[in-house]
Amino acid sequence: MLHASPSYAHTHVLARRAPAGVAADARTTFQVVDFAQLPELPAVDDCYIALGTTIKVAGSQAAFRAVDFDCVVNTARAARTAGATRLAVVSALGANANSSVFYNRVKGQMQAAIGALGFESVVIAQPSLLLGDRAAIGQPTRHFEVWAAHLLAPTMWLVPRAVRPIAATKVAAALLATTIEAAPGVRVLSSSQMQG
């Protein structure tokens, strides 16, 4: 169940599809949108973006880039236009605009683009493999993630914190706490920092 943070009077959630099994409450509004052609957003203070796909699900590198770069940057730009001064974004471990790995390069280019939009404060989370109940929010199960989580569970303490799979709830909590601090500039949260 999604609940508005006590730090915010109201939360406006944009989604590609209606969330399955998630109910809005008096302080939360859901809006299904096309992220490639966003409507004008209501006035906002802060913006959190956890938007992404995989090349396999997207179907091609171009389709992946359309989501993980174009849609993320479009959303950040729309939020800035709507008055947001703080931005928090989920990126990925290994993000680097100069990487030879396509996935990491797109994530790094996205980070550079959002950092140039004029927000007073930007927080970028770079998690390792994200763990969570994707089916509960209407997303397809990522079988590699399930397999990796089960395989590593008994020996998780042996996996270095920097690459250890991390619960999506930990990433969300770290983004929220760091964004509310409102320190100026761009800050990157590594997966090990968010492990808690």
pLDDT at position 2 is 44
Q: Does residue 2 lie in a domain region?
A: no
For residue 136, pLDDT over 60 is answered with: no
This prediction's pTM: 0.84
Among 48-57, 89-98, 104-113, the least confident range: 48-57
| Domain extent at residue 81 | 11-194
Residue pointed to by tokens 């091609």: 60
Strands (E), 28-141: 28-32, 46-49, 86-90, 121-126, 130-131
Report the share of the chain in percent with pLDDT over 90. Answer: 59
Dist. CA 73–CA 67, nearest whole Å = 9
Helix (H, G, I), strand (E, B) or coil at 113: helix
In this structure, what CATH number is given to the domain that contains residue 44?
3.40.50.720
Return the pLDDT at 154: 62
pLDDT (0 to 100) of residue 151: 65
- In a domain, residue 29? The reply is yes
pLDDT at 27: 85
Position 28 scores a pLDDT of 86
* pLDDT score for 19: 72
Judge whether 3 lies within some domain.
no
Residue 18: the pLDDT is: 77
Say how far apart CA 184 and CA 122 lie, in whole Å. 8
Is 5 domain-assigned?
A: no
125 touches 160 (CB < 8 A): no
Rounded CA gap, 38 and 14, in Å?
10
Q: What's the domain count of the chain? A: 1
Higher pLDDT, 179 or 23: 179
Whether 181 maps to a domain, the answer reads yes
- Widest Cα–Cα separation across the chain: 48
pLDDT digits (tens, 9 = 90+) for 143-185: 666 666 566 666 655 666 676 788 889 999 999 999 999 899 9
> Is residue 4 one of the residues assigned to a domain?
no
Q: What is the pLDDT of residue 88?
A: 97
Mean pLDDT along residues 93-111: 97
